Amino acid sequence: MKLPLLFAACLLTQHAVAGCSRDITAPVSANGASVIVEGADAKGIYPDLLRSIGSKAGCNFVFTVVPRARQVAMFKAGTADVLVPASRTPARDLFGTFIPMIQHRAMLISVNNGRPPIASAQDLLARKELRVAVVRGFDYGEPYAALIEELQKQGRVFVEVDVVAVARLLHAGSADVTIMGPTLMAGAIRREPRVQGLQEKLKFEAIPELPWHQSGAYISHALKPEDQAVLRDALEKAGKSNQIMEGYLRYFRADVLSDSVRPR
């Protein structure tokens, strides 16, 4: 009886650690508390999540630090197995399977200097004196892309490589407005000594052209179907457990999240 039991135990062990057939490439870029970059090391809400599910699912995630635009380009080229964090867009759906984790929305962020409120995208376009800074590679859907395109035609847009660069522009008064999730800006301010004190001066405005969107992880279609299935199952379980929202609550005050992040 011992031999059959030993054989069965071996089979169960093999099944438990079968997991992914190879290392999973996960390029990341600094993204508030979602991805915190320290030299070549990545931590934060999403790297922590991937490491957690990887140990359970038998998948090893290999993180490399790249600019956001390159991260997105690698996903589209099939050289990045996962894209995190990511808003869901029709363009990205062509290259991967989206797993929702939270809902979020981009907002207009500016230094509160008493200017009149901005109520819509058309209102922002009409305020031609306001200079707008954005991050290359950020995508909040078609209305966002259309708004940035019109602003670029007016010659009013600074395109930067990361959120820290945008924070510096706001702090220096070189840009008046940015468009992104408030948690991204809060995370950048937290790790950039040169802009300390900026958070308390900021004004956040929601506009109808930037509605709530799902945010989470994309799994590349370039992966083997078996690996996609393993990752999809692991990420779905994480999404249903509300693990990402709990991560946000560990990093941010509730008032920073109240108008921009909510459970999926």
Per-residue pLDDT tens over the stretch 130-180 = 999 999 989 888 899 999 999 999 999 999 999 999 999 999 999 999 999
- Rounded to 5 degrees, φ, ψ at 86 are -150, 140
pLDDT at 179: 98
Residue 62 confidence (pLDDT) above 60? yes
Q: What is the pLDDT of residue 119?
A: 96
Reported as a pLDDT band with limits 50, 70 and 90, residue 39 is confident
Q: What is the mean pLDDT of the chain?
A: 91
pLDDT digits (tens, 9 = 90+) for 226-247: 999 999 999 999 999 988 999 9
Res 2: pLDDT: 53
The domain limits of the chain are: 2-103+214-259, 107-205
Report the pLDDT averaged over residues 72-78: 97
Rounded CA separation 204/107 (Å): 6
8 A C-beta contact, residue 67 and residue 187: no
Q: Please give the pLDDT value at position 193.
A: 93
pLDDT > 70 fraction of the chain, expressed in percent and rounded:
93
What percent of the chain has pLDDT above 90?
A: 75
- Strands 213-220 and 82-87 come out as antiparallel
Task: Quote the CA–CA distance of 165 and 158 in Å, as a whole number.
Answer: 10
Q: Name the CATH topology of 107-205.
A: D-Maltodextrin-Binding Protein; domain 2 (3.40.190)
Say if residues 106 and 144 touch (Cβ distance below 8 Å): yes
- Whether 65 has a pLDDT exceeding 80, the answer reads yes
Q: Please state, in angstroms and rounded to a whole number, the distance separating the CA atoms of residues 34 and 210.
A: 20
Asked whether residue 18 carries a pLDDT value surpassing 90, the answer given is no
Q: DSSP for 200-251? A: GGEEEE--TTS--EEEEEEEETTS-HHHHHHHHHHHHHHHHTTHHHHHHHHH
pLDDT of 144: 94
pLDDT tens per residue, range 177-221: 999 999 989 988 988 999 999 999 999 999 999 999 889 999 999
CATH number of 2-103+214-259: 3.40.190.10
Q: What is the pLDDT of residue 199?
A: 93
Residue 71 pLDDT > 70: yes
Q: Are strands 24-28 and 61-65 parallel, antiparallel or unpaired?
A: parallel
Residue range 87-114: mean pLDDT, rounded: 94
pLDDT value at residue 72:
95
Alpha helices in the chain (DSSP H): 2-17, 45-57, 68-77, 90-93, 121-126, 142-153, 163-172, 182-191, 225-240, 243-251, 254-257
Q: Is the pLDDT of residue 10 over 50?
A: no
